[in-house]
Every structure is written in C-alpha cells, then in structure tokens.
Amino acid sequence: MSGIIEIAVPKEEIEARRDRYEKTINFETPDRVPVIPSIATRYLLPQIGVDFKDYFGDPEVMLRSQILAQKWHLENVRTDAHSVTGAWVGGWTDFQNAYEAGSLGCETHFPDYDIPWIGPSWVKTDEDLQKLEAIDFVHSGLNQRQIDYRKAMMDVAEKYPVRFQGGDVFYPGENPALTNATGGPFNLAGDLIGQTDVFLMVYERPGFLKEVLRIVTDKIIDWLEFCHAEMQLTERNLSWSDDPAVYLSADMFREFSLPYNQKIRSRFDGYGLLHMCGKSDHLLEIFRDDLKIDILYGFGFPVDLDRIGEALGGRVAVVGNVNPMLLHSGTPEQIRQATRHVIDKLAHYKGLVVQEGNNVPPGTPLENINAMMEAAELYGSYE
C-alpha cells in the first residue's frame, strides 16, 4: 500500500470525543452522554471486503484490514470512538476469544466466513491436569502466534501510515497490542472441561474444578505479565471478563469464580474494566466491592437498570445496554426510544456510556446503529 491512509475525521473531533469519554468515566460532566457502539471484527471485515480466512492467516493482512476497517468505522458510524491504535481499534493480534483455550491444548478452527472457534474440550482426568500444568501458556498455540504476528506487524509498520484531518502521521503497527486481557478463569475452565461439564463439576467434582481454576489462573497471570513486559506497559490496568460465571448464584460465584478473579485483580490493581454478559444483577455488589472494578463494560440488556443504578450509580462507570437484537431488527425509532430509556434511568448518576450489549450483530443496518447517537443528542445533554 502506498501513501498515507487518510481518515476523514478532523483531529479536533477525535479529541472532543476523547474528552467526552474521559470526563464520563471519571464522573465529570461532559456536554452529553457518549455513545460507543461495540463494532468488532465479525461486523467490520465484510465492510471492507476482506475474507476471514485471509485476515486470520496473515499478519500483514490483519494489520492492514484493521486500519481500513477502523477508517470505515470512524467515517461511517456515529460514535465517540476516538482512536486507531490498541486492542479493538487498530493494530493488535486478533484471535478473538479463541486465544486462551487455543494456547492450552484445544484445537482451533478457522472457518472461511467467520471468526475462530474452539474445538472439543480435553481436561477430564488427573493425568490431564498434569499435562495442563506442564503447558507453556505464553509460548504455545495461539499465544505464540500472537507473538509472531506482533513482530511481523512491526516489521511492516512503515508501510501503513495513518492521519486524521489536520493531525500528524502515525503508524498503528509500530507497537501493536497483544491481547492483554483475559476471558476469565471460569470461562477458560469451561473451554477446557466443557461448558456443560464445568457446571456439573460445581456439584459433582468441585475439588477437580478448583484445581483447574488454580492452574489456569496462574497461567493467565503469566500471560498478562508477559504482555506488560513485551509492550512496555507502565500502568497495571486490567481488562477482563468471566461470562459463564454469571450463571452461578452469588454464593457459588464467591466460591468458584471470585477467588481466582481476585488473584488476577490483585496482581493488576490499576484501572479495572470488567465485561460480563447476561443477567448479572445478583453479582453487582461483588463486582463493585470485591473486584473493585472501575467500569462495567458492555453490560447486557437483561440487567435491570434500576438495579444497576442502585448498586453502581455514581461509583462504577457503566457501558450498555441497548438490546443487540433490537438493534439488528428494530426500527430506528424503536432504537432511539430504547436508548432514551437507558439515558433516563442512568445518565443522572454520571458515568454512563451508551452501547448495545457489547456486540453489534453482523448485518445490522447502519441507520439503526446511528440511531443511538441521535437519541443521545436529543436526550442525553448535560447542558
């Protein structure tokens, strides 16, 4: 590719978005509620005509596609997204949610027309536990591929200069991000044991399950420490989730998820951003008090807005929670009203960023996505 990749958004607009977002998460008063739809790889690749197989199979294609996808994103979606570098928005080693299990002995499948997915689970016996503990998580499977892809992206970084209108040239491939996050220990245990079997083990083999959780927690920490060193990160921030654990009762969550998440959180005790799918009403105080999160990111549409306001309002920034299915299949007016409902319930606490439940479905009409911003401009002003 020759020439500078020009993004037709003024630098001043990017900085205004950044200011709006940062004021919000710090419980200051922006001009209005920000809106950041979660638009990821599955949605973006078709917009720029890149095949999934090519994207995941070649690090230069991955880097170039990310830049072009974010150019499309920032020029076409009405959003307060404000960056083209870093995980989710630019140069990063993207293997979606497969990278952890895909580095601990699970087969990874790369379909021609979709993101990667994990094959059968394999940890069933005490002998399997020994094999699991012996795996070098950092230098195995998809994590080793992340390391290799990162170097390859850096080698071609100068081929892909980027510039906002009125801004300086920069190179998203100069320091591409490894996936410096985790899907969570209970989630990873589910990939290794089986997502049904992990819940059966809560009752039938709790000791075995806890041993798996101990092992994967230590390996997650090893990977995150590696990322911090490799990327030369100075702040001990943590982005993570543990989605399947939302189906545990509060007591079971405290036994089978919390201790392991706390161990990770204690090692990375800076800014904490937690994503949790599903109906997490019964866990909100645990997130707030025991995990000491700063942002609940992409909380889903099943979460009761009065409940989240009561538990987190004014103390934890929240990002959500328009129904993704409504976003995909509803009318713009329905989406404007759904967005207004979230704003009416939570904006007065400050700390609200409007989003769908953290995944804009492929095929969602652009006018529906942009309807969230229209609602924020109509109903989300603080002035």
**How is the chain split into domains, by residue range?**
1-26+38-179, 271-383
Burial 298-307 (b: 16+ CB within 10 A, else e): bbbbebebee
Q: What is the pTM of this model?
A: 0.95
- Note the pLDDT of residue 358: 82
pLDDT at 1 over 70: no
Average pLDDT for the chain: 95
- Note the pLDDT of residue 233: 94
CA 368/CA 383 separation, integer angstroms: 26
Sorting pLDDT into bands at 50, 70 and 90, what band is 357? confident
Q: Which residue has the tokens 């101990």?
A: 214
- Note the pLDDT of residue 383: 76
Instruction: Count CA within 13 A, CB hemisphere, residue 248.
Output: 26
- Note the pLDDT of residue 371: 98
Distance of CA 93 to CAs 70, 182, 214, 220, Å?
A: 15, 14, 26, 17
CA 296/CA 283 separation, integer angstroms: 12
pLDDT at 2 over 80: no
Distance of CA 304 to CAs 37, 103, 357, Å?
A: 20, 36, 13
Give the pLDDT confidence of 132-158 residue by residue, as tens digits: 999 999 999 999 999 999 999 999 999
CA 351/CA 345 separation, integer angstroms: 12
pLDDT at 89 over 80: no
- Note the pLDDT of residue 86: 59
CA 82/CA 85 separation, integer angstroms: 9
- Note the pLDDT of residue 85: 63
pLDDT at 248 over 80: yes
- Note the pLDDT of residue 88: 53
Mean pLDDT of 287-300: 96
- Note the pLDDT of residue 34: 97
pLDDT at 87 over 80: no
- Note the pLDDT of residue 351: 97
E strand or H helix at 109: strand 108-109
